[in-house]
Amino acid sequence: MSTRQHPNSALYTDHYELTMLRASLHSGAAHRRSVFEVFTRRLPEGRRYGVVAGTGRLLEGLEDFRFDTGQLDFLASARVVDDRTLDWLSTFRFTGNIWGYAEGDAFFPYSPVLVVEGSFAEACILETYVLSVLNHDSAIASAASRMTGAAGSRPCIEMGSRRTHEESAVAAARAAVIAGFSSTSNLEAGRRYGLKTLGTAAHSFTLVHDSERDAFAAQVDSLGKSTSLLVDTYDVERGVRNAVAAAGPELGAVRLDSGDLVSQARWVRQLLDDLGNHHTRIVVTSDLDEFAIGSLASAPVDSYGVGTSLVTGSGAPTAGMVYKLVSRTDDDGAFVSVAKAAMNKASIGGRKYALRRLNGSGTATAEVLGIGSPPHDDGNDRPLLEQFVAEGKVLPGWTGPQAVERAVRRHHDSLSELPGSVMRLQRGEPAIPTEYEENP
């Protein structure tokens, strides 16, 4: 199954990445071995954890990160770079190494979610592409995780394609499934990543027929009695009765898309039971977010369809990740730590190694970062960095549908080891602190 959609991803970048490349080739610094790290200085206000997503998409794009003739001609005509830089770009392929947190894992402030090692030149020009993928997908996965946590055992369906860019819609569906959503309405996401897709009918389907009864009869005849019928185009009670008349007790579900969903779900459940439809499920949609889902916990709802809030990060549309140089070689070839010191934007120099400290019962107590070498492992701790790329080669298992399946498992296991406070929707500090061990 092919997941590639573009000839390459090389110009998904900012102008200054290539002017830095040009200047560093001029100075000679382009060839210094360098280590860049992706991290966030803080979680969105009140959030207790974040969820890593997008790494698989990033690695898929990295395999196609080449500068073709048309792109080189554009760069030359726009005078972005000089001839020397064009020559360098014409043969570019990433030859370094990449490690990071597995997709689906939780992250916290300063967690080194991605570590890129290579020459300054080849690592530098990846910055914008890396951040655009990880910031978007991790924001969606972090919101989705809060939603599935609020939903408990009730499935959530991703339905946000019409509320975002067409490619963002595919990425959002993928990230949502990683963080616990059971399915998506987006067919392209289903094709690329093997995701389960769902969908039946909108209000327009009812409106194009002469009556609601005619519309429901046509849908049942075409899709079978197990279909889901949208019952609030006109009057909900009449809609439920028409739905039952069309499919009988085998009706799969009714969908509610407006009004007071809590009270409405309760009396619709009673009406369905009174009509003998004890097994007909109730699906609710209508601008849901994690707080609305939480408020429906006591209502007789069977599943949730979530759109706008999900694909916009539920108030946090970016994960706030940055890409910083933390170590590079000097003139003698020895690695030295480097760090940004700007007020409120300081970084911590030195290559980081991460583990999650676990107590005797397997519950996380801290995110521990070793500077320069791995931190001490108490024997019950979990190392967090996985290698994704070795000498330019993307390692197997981290892309395509297989990566999504792997990430779903990682997300489940990661949340299982975090303190119970992560399930609270109230504002709070990160669930565990970030600690440092500096080694010589």
Residue 418 DSSP one-character state:
S
- Tell me the three state secondary structure of residue 102: coil
In this predicted model, what pLDDT tens digit does every residue of 403-431 receive, in sequence order? 999 999 999 999 999 999 998 899 999 99
- How many whole angstroms separate alpha carbon 244 and alpha carbon 265? 16
15-125+320-438 and 141-311 have identical folds? no
Helix (H) or strand (E) holding 90: helix 83-90
Decide: 322 and 346 in contact? Cβ < 8 Å: no
In this predicted model, what pLDDT tens digit does every residue of 290-304 receive, in sequence order? 999 999 999 999 999
In this predicted model, what pLDDT tens digit does every residue of 347-383 receive, in sequence order? 899 999 999 999 999 999 999 999 999 999 988 999 9
Name the average pLDDT for the chain: 95
In this structure, how many other beta carbons lie within 10 angstroms of the beta carbon of residue 46?
12
* Band of residue 2 on the pLDDT scale cut at 50, 70, 90: very low
CATH of domain 141-311: 3.20.20.70
Residue 379 DSSP one-character state:
S
Q: Phi and psi dihedrals of 7, rounded to 5?
A: -60, -35
302: Cβ contacts below 8 Å, ≥ 6 apart: 154, 253, 281, 282, 283
Q: What pLDDT does 5 receive?
A: 52
- How many whole angstroms separate alpha carbon 246 and alpha carbon 216? 6
Sign (positive or negative) of CA dihedral 138, 144, 149, 155: negative
* Band of residue 9 on the pLDDT scale cut at 50, 70, 90: confident
Q: Which CATH number fits domain 15-125+320-438: 3.20.140.10, 3.40.50.720, 3.40.50.300, 1.10.10.10?
A: 3.20.140.10
In this predicted model, what pLDDT tens digit does every residue of 10-38 receive, in sequence order? 999 999 999 999 999 999 999 999 999 99
How far, CA to CA in Å, does 255 sit from each of 203, 230, 318? Answer: 11, 5, 31
In this predicted model, what pLDDT tens digit does every residue of 92-134 receive, in sequence order? 999 999 999 999 999 999 999 999 999 999 999 999 999 999 9
Written as six digits, the tokens of 314 are: 């539920």
The predicted model scores a pTM of: 0.95
Q: Where are the domains of the chain?
A: 15-125+320-438, 141-311
Q: What pLDDT does 244 receive?
A: 98
Residue type, 85: T
Q: How far is CA 229 from the centre of its chain?
A: 30
- Would you say residue 6 has pLDDT above 80? no
In this predicted model, what pLDDT tens digit does every residue of 180-235 receive, in sequence order? 999 999 999 999 999 999 999 999 999 999 999 999 999 999 999 999 999 999 99
* Band of residue 438 on the pLDDT scale cut at 50, 70, 90: confident
Mean pLDDT score, 242-263: 96
- How many whole angstroms separate alpha carbon 186 and alpha carbon 353? 37
Written as six digits, the tokens of 53 are: 């997503």
In this predicted model, what pLDDT tens digit does every residue of 177-193 receive, in sequence order? 999 999 999 999 999 99
Decide: 256 and 231 in contact? Cβ < 8 Å: yes
